[in-house]
Homo-oligomer: A and B are copies of this chain.
């Protein structure tokens, strides 16, 4: 029989133990932060009717769908994000949910045939959303949650760049009347990649005057001084632009509420260049970047969307939410040398002279686990040296040897320190604080 080559599909990858353990720890940290803020979990299917997923994420998402017809003849697709399934979920279960409805959701999503090279076709999405309120308090809550998440993840300083689509819309309407807002935002979004000249040409091609395009680029240029940013934005909104002014006031207010929550100075920055690619945001928008590695791109994003569920229900279900980019954060931690250490899941390897000693090896391993110390027994009848080499290769920090006299010998591999014990309690105490 010829062998089948063991391989994964392009854009898909296995997660090996060391990385998987770091990922598990990050996920659990996020679950804790979400719960502490009132965001319990939900789950939705990986596979949905294709019509549910299409048409809301924009044309690019549609093209990228993993779509097929199932054996029952139904057009189905794998979810490409967790936001569209949330909209469907809330529309479907609105009578069973309590509003304001907070939920978190961590799960895989799939996008095929993605334009950029090397982009993953399967990726972990990690979202929190608050559905119901249209208030600034809700916007602020999401920002506070995100700041708490990055702090708990211990990934170094993260800056949240925030903006508001209503402010941007108002400024576009004022400085480049007649230019569709979405076209202007798409042009402005290309500043970093293509440069200001290209953005200007694109704005003029869309109908802006040369002066209008220049002013638009100028007012959306990031500035470090917050009051300058607010002044520039305010000066370029029409006097009667209630929505734009509400957006600006909202930005002021979320900064105030974040400060009241103890968010560190500088964690939030109003940045008029932030537009976000997706079409469905209607209010505040945000992008998170890692201060130590800004070039790896966004490590989180979000914003307010006031009519996401309108494809599925006539109920008005406004919301605000965020995504934390766990995969990119893991990549960043590895790039910064913070998540590459060999890390065994167990603290102790129990080694033994052979099968006759196995009952005692199993017994002491069970005792250690009951004391909160992870333990594994070497599961074969092998020479002592071979068992020790395994502990070393697997990165297990301690070895406990079952001795012929009924006692145990314990060794810390990092420094070779060791001791012998006749009773379990002393062994446990030493493993908890060797050398103490």
Residues of A within 8 A of B (CB): 1, 3-10, 12-17, 20-21, 23-24, 28, 31, 34-49, 51-52, 66, 68-72, 74, 76, 78, 88-89, 91-93, 96-100, 102-103, 108, 110, 112-113, 122, 130, 132-133, 135-138, 140-141, 144, 148, 256-262, 311-314, 344-346, 355, 358-360, 362-363, 365-366, 369-370, 374-381, 390, 393-394, 396
Contact = CB atoms under 8 A, between A and B. Distances in A.
A110 B46 contact: yes
Contact of A6 (B70, B91, B390): B91
Contacts of A377: 137, 141
Nearest to A13: B45
A87 B57 CA distance: 36
A38 B436 CA distance: 26
Given A46-B122, A72-B113, A312-B3, A362 B261 contact: yes
A378 B78 CA distance: 35
Contact of A37 (B4, B72, B374): B374
A327 to B, nearest CB: 11
A49 to B, nearest CB: 6
A138 B377 CA distance: 9
B122 A47 contact: yes
A148 B260 contact: no
A133 B312 CA distance: 54
B365 A261 contact: yes
A394 B100 CA distance: 9
B35 A374 contact: yes
A326 to B, nearest CB: 12
A12 B42 contact: no
Contact of A380 (B40, B135, B312, B358): B135
A73 B70 CA distance: 17
Given A52-B6, A359-B257, A37 B312 contact: no
B360 A260 contact: yes
Contacts of A355: 136-137
A212 B226 CA distance: 89
18 contacts: A3-B314, A6-B91, A14-B92, A15-B44, A16-B97, A20-B43, A24-B31, A35-B374, A36-B375, A37-B369, A39-B345, A71-B112, A100-B379, A132-B380, A137-B381, A144-B362, A260-B359, A261-B366
Contacts of A381: 135, 137
Contacts of A47: 9, 12, 66, 78, 110, 122
A136 B361 CA distance: 14
A14 B42 contact: yes
Contacts of A363: 260-262
A223 B249 CA distance: 76
Contact of A36 (B3, B78, B346): B346
Contacts of A46: 46, 78, 108, 110, 122
A91 B108 CA distance: 24
A379 B129 CA distance: 13
B379 A45 contact: no
Given A36-B374, A257-B359, A10 B103 contact: no
Nearest to A372: B36
Contacts of A42: 14-17, 20
A22 to B, nearest CB: 10
Q: Which of A20, A122, A133, A140 has the most CB of B within 10 A?
A: A20
Contact of A43 (B14, B34, B70, B74): B14
Contacts of A96: 16
Contact of A313 (B6, B110, B370): B6
A68 to B, nearest CB: 3
